[in-house]
Amino acid sequence: MAAISLRNIIKRYGKGKHELQVIHGVNAEVDDREFVVIVGPSGCGKSTLLRMVAGLEEISSGEIWIGARKVNDLEPAERDIAMVFQNYALYPHMSVYENMAYGLKIKKMPADEIRARVDKAAGILELGPLLERRPRQLSGGQRQRVAMGRAIVRQPQVFLFDEPLSNLDAKLRAQTRIEIQKLHRELGITSLFVTHDQVEAMTLAQRMIVMNAGAMEQFGTPEEVYNRPATTFVASFIGSPPMNLLTNAPGARPNTVMGVRPEHLDIVADGGWPLQVETCELLGAERLVYGRLGTEQVIVRTEEGAAVPTPGTTIHVAPREGKVHWFDAATRKRI
Amino acid sequence: MVENRPWVTFFSHAILIVGIVVVAFPLYVTFVASTLTLEQILSVPMPLTPGTHFWDNYAQVLAAGSTRGAAAPVGRMMFNSLVMALVIAFGKIAISIIASFAIVYFRFPLRRTFFWMIFVTLMLPVEVRIIPTYKVVSDLGMLNTYVGLTLPLIASATATFLFRQFFLTVPDELAEAARMDGAGPMRFFFDVLLPLSATSIAALFVIQFIYGWNQYLWPLLITSEESMYTAVIGIKRMIVGGDAATEWHLVMATAMLAMIPPALVVVLMQKWFVKGLVDTEK
């Protein structure tokens, strides 16, 4: 078990004129036994960050500590970590058993201990009957479990997950999410989990790092990130549908951006803001009302059973008390 | 295309049958000739049914060779050919798989230059560089040796290129996973890349075995001792002077024998061969 410490991590590609900095100084302290999710849109540098922790990418500047060791110059195998890849990266010519045992065999572990560890991991992941199969004979979900099994048998200090659920269908993804949570509870191994899916991030994370364009926008619990987004980017990225960010709403202050989540806008009889209704979407238990407030688009979320506004009419909405966020218009930071 | 038109079926079969006959007839004539005596072959027209001298002719060439041309036993020549074909096939595969491993998986200065140097040699077949190669081999005293026979033919741009293309299709994550598992580069090569390349290796083996077996110009130049002749050269050396002087029945028997090993390799490895060219098992 170990904590992870990222100290001013910078990643640059290329040299001289072609130099391109993709990660601009990330600082984060991940506690021992913590499950931290790194989330952000594609191209934000989240995978690169994870790969630097794994040792698959060189660190241009800064330090990474795992436990009491600085790992900058250690080979991936020496960092006492295990990684689950997006496409699982199972060895196609080896059986499930051999796939899981390979790393231990290289460590020259005695055969009976390898057997015991693999059997134990197979038991946890319900892979027992599949041990003699080849990866190609497995379904996507089974392959995913083998990839996790390969990580578990090493009994590492840190688990790294690189979008491990993105190749699964929606139902399996939800199921695997729960399994990963259960696994983390049982094993208590510090985990870093990269995803672009904010639902995955919200449900899995004990704390989450929200990244954008190579910089860390916020590092906090899902509640903090949802309730007190640090920047307009976090506000619009976390939560679905995204937060309404308005500059010209009634009551707006100069040089600020006002943020209200769709679920924190209520339809009122009169007063509030006049909203020109454009379309309505039914999502089962709730309904999304898309409308226009002046020139800006506003989304309102209403509960099942509430009256359905007719497109073209004007309704009145009011933000709930204490649920309005303010951001600086220039720095995009929370005020 | 699924069609059910009897005439088309009939027609296509007819064309295929004609094709087979055209290809197979010379082979048949060779076989028939190898079972006749020289007088029977030289008579006009030559008989087209197998004669009674099958054992005589084959025993003669296998053990003693021809009486007028090269007197080396064909058994010995076949052995030479086999050594040459096997060494060339395995040598080419071994060298080119390691070369492409280096080119694909390692970053070193002038990597691209080296790749292009290898690639350019594709345009230089043995025949083009044969005189300098001969000079080098003869200066090294390797005439009439197996080393001289095989070494200059082992370097292969084609095989290197083929393996490179194959390695490029192997997902990077596999190499990364091996690295996480603590496998060094050579361990990764032997434990992961080599087993994955098995079908490509089999396909290349078939191609290179036949290439090595059928070498003509190079062994013709560097073998002057009968004990070093390959089967192909043996055939050439058995043909002496005019038509009447050549023991055609023995030449034909040798030709039949020389055809067997490559045919066997193709037939036995056909499944692997096709898999290697078609399959991508990843």
* pLDDT tens track for B240-268: 766 667 888 888 899 999 999 999 999 99
List the single residue in A with minimal CA-CA distance to B280: A92
Q: Is A95 in the B-facing interface, judged by CB distances under 8 Å?
A: no
Determine the Cα–Cα distance for residues B112 and A180; give it in Å rounded to an integer: 44
Q: Per-residue confidence at A11, pLDDT binned at 50, 70, 90?
A: very high
pLDDT at A36 over 50: yes
Q: Per-residue confidence at B282, pLDDT binned at 50, 70, 90?
A: very low
Question: Cα separations (Å) of A279 from A294, A298, B135?
Answer: 16, 11, 86
At residue A267, the 3 state secondary structure works out as strand
Tell me what pLDDT residue A52 has: 93
Question: Cα separations (Å) of A10 from A16, A18, A62, A299?
Answer: 16, 16, 6, 38
* Mean pLDDT, residues A156-183: 90
Angstroms from B195 CA to nearest CA on chain A: 7
Angstroms from A91 CA to nearest CA on chain B: 7
Angstroms from B163 CA to nearest CA on chain A: 18
**Phi, psi of A63, deg, nearest 5:** -135, 145
pLDDT above 90 coverage of chain B, percent: 37
pLDDT at A251 over 90: no
Instruction: Give the other-Cβ count within 10 Å of A114's Cβ.
Output: 19
Instruction: Give the other-Cβ count within 10 Å of A140's Cβ.
Output: 12
CB contact under 8 A, B179 and A56: yes
Q: Which two tokens stand for residue A47?
A: 């995978």
Cβ-based contacts of A74 with chain B (< 8 Å):
none
Q: Is A108 in the B-facing interface, judged by CB distances under 8 Å?
A: no
Determine the Cα–Cα distance for residues B1 and B4; give it in Å rounded to an integer: 10
Q: Is B170 in the A-facing interface, judged by CB distances under 8 Å?
A: no
Determine the Cα–Cα distance for residues A310 and B6; give it in Å rounded to an integer: 67
CB contact under 8 A, A89 and B177: yes
Angstroms from A97 CA to nearest CA on chain B: 14
- Bridge partner residues of A193 (DSSP): A37, A161
- Bridge partner residues of A38 (DSSP): A194, A209
CB contact under 8 A, B187 and A77: no
Cβ-based contacts of A90 with chain B (< 8 Å):
177
List the single residue in B with minimal CA-CA distance to A135: B282
Spatial strand order of the sheet with A244-246 comes to A244-246, A256-260, A324-328
Cβ-based contacts of B192 with chain A (< 8 Å):
91, 93
pLDDT above 70 coverage of chain B, percent: 94
Domains of chain A, start order: 4-231 (3.40.50.300), 241-328 (2.40.50.140)
The strand pair at A256-260 and A20-30 is best described as unpaired
Candidate from B174, B182, B198 with C-beta closest to A89? B174
Q: Is A106 in the B-facing interface, judged by CB distances under 8 Å?
A: yes
Candidate from B173, B182, B195 with C-beta closest to A106? B182
Q: Which two tokens stand for residue B120?
A: 């350019």
* Mean pLDDT, residues B152-159: 85
Tell me what pLDDT residue B244 has: 64
Residue A156: closest CA among B171, B182, B172: B182
Q: Which two tokens stand for residue B275?
A: 């898999």
Q: Are A230 and A75 in contact (CB under 8 A)?
A: no
Q: Are A298 and A246 in contact (CB under 8 A)?
A: yes
Cβ-based contacts of A86 with chain B (< 8 Å):
173
- Containing A207, the helix (H) or strand (E) segment is strand A207-212
* Mean pLDDT, residues B166-188: 91
At residue B246, the 3 state secondary structure works out as coil
CB contact under 8 A, B174 and A102: no
Amino acid letter, B169: T
Tell me what pLDDT residue B279 has: 58
Question: Cα separations (Å) of B217 from A48, A139, B10, B14, B236?
Answer: 56, 54, 44, 38, 11
Candidate from B180, B191, B195 with C-beta closest to A83? B180
> A276 vs B278, which has greater pLDDT?
A276
Q: Tell me the DSSP string of A76-131.
A: GGGGTEEEE-TT----TTS-HHHHHHHHHHHTT--HHHHHHHHHHHHHHHT-GGGT
pLDDT at B174 over 60: yes
Tell me what pLDDT residue B232 has: 87
Residue bearing tokens 């100084």: A25
Amino acid letter, A34: E
pLDDT at B280 over 90: no
Cβ-based contacts of A103 with chain B (< 8 Å):
180-182
Q: Is A86 in the B-facing interface, judged by CB distances under 8 Å?
A: yes
Range scoring the smallest mean pLDDT among A153-167, B39-53, B181-195: B39-53
Amino acid letter, A2: A
* Mean pLDDT, residues A89-100: 92
Question: Cα separations (Å) of A207 from A33, A170, A203, B181?
Answer: 12, 23, 10, 28
Q: Is B182 in the A-facing interface, judged by CB distances under 8 Å?
A: yes
Q: Is A83 in the B-facing interface, judged by CB distances under 8 Å?
A: yes
CB contact under 8 A, A92 and B171: no
pLDDT at A101 over 50: yes
Residue bearing tokens 């990130």: A225
List the single residue in B with minimal CA-CA distance to A136: B282
pLDDT at A165 over 50: yes
pLDDT at B3 over 70: no
CB-based burial label for A204 (10 Å; 0-12, 13-18, 19+): buried
Q: Are A19 and A12 in contact (CB under 8 A)?
A: yes
Q: For A206-247, what is each residue's pLDDT tens digit?
A: 999 999 999 999 999 999 999 999 999 999 999 888 899 988
CB contact under 8 A, A103 and B281: no
Cβ-based contacts of B181 with chain A (< 8 Å):
77, 102-103, 106
User: Helix H segments across chain B?
Assistant: 6-33, 38-42, 54-64, 74-105, 111-120, 130-139, 146-154, 157-169, 172-180, 185-188, 194-196, 198-213, 217-222, 231-238, 248-278
Domains of chain B, start order: 66-278 (1.10.3720.10)
* Mean pLDDT, residues B118-146: 87
* Mean pLDDT, residues A23-50: 92
* Mean pLDDT, residues B26-52: 87
> A38 vs B271, which has greater pLDDT?
A38
A71, A85, A105, A146, best to mutate vs chain B, most B CBs in 10 Å: A85
Tell me what pLDDT residue B124 has: 79
Window 59-118 of B: residues touching A by CB (8 A cutoff) are none
Range scoring the smallest mean pLDDT among A11-20, A102-111, A199-208: A11-20
Q: Per-residue confidence at B13, pLDDT binned at 50, 70, 90?
A: very high
**Phi, psi of B36, deg, nearest 5:** -105, 175
Determine the Cα–Cα distance for residues A23 and B279; give it in Å rounded to an integer: 40
Predicted TM-score (pTM) of this structure: 0.81
Determine the Cα–Cα distance for residues A230 and A333; give it in Å rounded to an integer: 6
Tell me what pLDDT residue B102 has: 93
CB contact under 8 A, B176 and A86: no
B180, B191, B281, best to mutate vs chain A, most A CBs in 10 Å: B180
Q: Per-residue confidence at B273, pLDDT binned at 50, 70, 90?
A: confident
